[in-house]
Amino acid sequence: MTPSDPPAERIPAVEGVAFRPETESDTPFLREAFHTSRDYELDLVQWEPEQRRLFMEHQFHAQRIHYTTHYPDAGFYIMKMDGKPIGRIYVDLSADPFLLMDIIVVPSLRNKGIGTRVVSALLRMADEEKKRVRIYVEKMNPALRLYQRLGFVMEEDTGPHYLMYYTPLGHEGRKGA
């Protein structure tokens, strides 16, 4: 974290990754990160590049409006390594259960354990506070395997998504405990 970055409140520490609240000046980075996070969906359609771009732009704006409208207490953070943005994480840690809304790591750093470390830190925090963690995961999302590996369990099939929960050991609602 550079001295000019305000600290991220309540986001758990992760070795090698700094967090700061996003600002309007982050919009170009956030747009690009969002666009690259949806390739698995767009590879299913035969659209021209401009159609893809327009669709993704619409989805980017719709998601931002939805998150800021429906989750006003959530934290919207930029993840950084060596002073450079590497992704984003959106979480509502005031909710019970905690809500992991979204996490994106830039393509060049995917599959290097960064997402695992960040989500694992959030789960350790949930363990300490004896809170569950909720996430909606698109059925086709490659990160589904990550969430399953970290202990999330599917509790509801909502159609395009799975509603998944992580439940700390010792929590009354833990499945299989």
CATH code of the domain containing 96: 3.40.630.30
pLDDT at 177 over 80: no
Give residue 170's pLDDT: 62
pLDDT of residue 140: 86
* Domain residue limits at 57: 18-166
Cis peptide before 49 (omega within 30 of 0): no
| pLDDT over 90 (residue 165) | yes
Q: What is the pLDDT of residue 3?
A: 34
Instruction: Kindly state whether residue 23 falls inside one of the protein's structural domains.
Output: yes
Contact 164, 137 (CB under 8 A): yes
d(CA 69, CA 102): 15
Whether 31 is in a domain gets the answer yes
Mean pLDDT score across all residues of the chain: 87
User: Considering the domain boundaries, does residue 25 fall inside one?
Assistant: yes
Q: Is residue 70 part of a domain?
A: yes
What's the domain count of the chain?
1
171 in a structural domain: no
Q: How far is CA 171 from CA 5, 97, 153, 174, in A?
A: 36, 12, 14, 6
5 has pLDDT over 50: no
Asked whether 21 and 75 are in contact (CB, 8 A), the reply is yes
At 134 the three-state DSSP class reads strand
State residue 175's pLDDT score. Answer: 47
Evaluate whether residue 94 is within a structural domain. Answer: yes
Average pLDDT rounded to a whole number, residues 139-158: 94
Task: List pLDDT tens digits, range 54-113.
Answer: 888 999 999 999 999 999 999 999 999 999 999 999 999 988 999 999 999 999 999 999
| Structural domain includes residue 30 | yes
Q: What are the angstrom distances between the C-alpha of 160 and each of 67, 90, 101?
A: 18, 20, 16
Instruction: Please check the confidence at residue 8 and state whether its pLDDT lies above 80.
Output: no
Question: Is 100 part of a structural domain of the chain?
Answer: yes
